[in-house]
Structure 1
Amino acid sequence: MAANGKSRNLESFVKQQLEGAQKRFGDLEQEAGKVFRTLKARSKGQAREVEKLLGQINSDALLENPKVKEFGRKATQVSTDLRKRLDGLQTKAVEAVGVASQAQVKELNRELSRLSKKLDQLLPASVKKVTSRGSRVSAS
């Protein structure tokens, strides 16, 4: 019976950790939403300014300019680097929140399965009888 209590303690611990992680994710999501809305509002104003300036310039001649082509290549490179950094930050944020990665979750599931099999081997047959609903049936 002590193994059953340990199993419940483990389930309770895992549940508490998941609930805490969900709350932290919710908080992070709210913060990210605020930052995103702020950046979106800023970018709209800047986009209008750029459109206004572009309307004043002959775009065909501008696109053929070697300096503009080089600027376009650099902008693409910066965009790629920024995306990589954001992906890294996202990974660090998930780690900081204390949430297990997919690989860690799979490893935990494997370990739980292994422990469950060991537990099944240790329990007497009368305790192991289980109905299709998962409730225990006592042997008389």
Structure 2
Amino acid sequence: MATTHVKARNLETFVKGQLEGAQKRFEGLEQEASKVLNTLKERGQDSAKEVEKLLGQLNTETLLENPKVKLLGRRATQVRTELRKRLDGFQARAVEAVGVASQAQVKEINRELSRLSKKLDQLLPAAVKKVTGRMGSRPSAS
């Protein structure tokens, strides 16, 4: 039993030693990572300053004539158009789900009402128009 106890003690000492060594290596890696992070922050700040300086020097007319910029502009317009179509479709589905007339439906109803009103005006005989016109212009009896 004493040998088992000694073996357990040796194993415990060995594991503690390994853990302490690992912790020291971890601390070293942590310090190194911290240094690298600080260096990257400094470089990022320097790069940001340089980009700001370059942006201040840019000539917009020259930039807009660049073929790559033109291509990006066209792509942005295409994306905007596609996005607008999708949003309009989504809005139409949402309006349908709520049960309210969409703007397009209201415009169509107004066009139809206007068309019917014109047709009604054409169908009414001139005499009826005169009578209704006189009725509206009579002095009130109050």
Q: Give the alignment's TM-score, normalised by structure 2.
A: 0.39
Q: Pick the structure with greater CA Rg.
A: 2
Q: Give the alignment's TM-score, normalised by structure 1.
A: 0.39
Relative contact order higher in (CA < 8 Å, ≥ 6 apart): 1
Higher helix fraction: Structure 1 or Structure 2?
Answer: 2
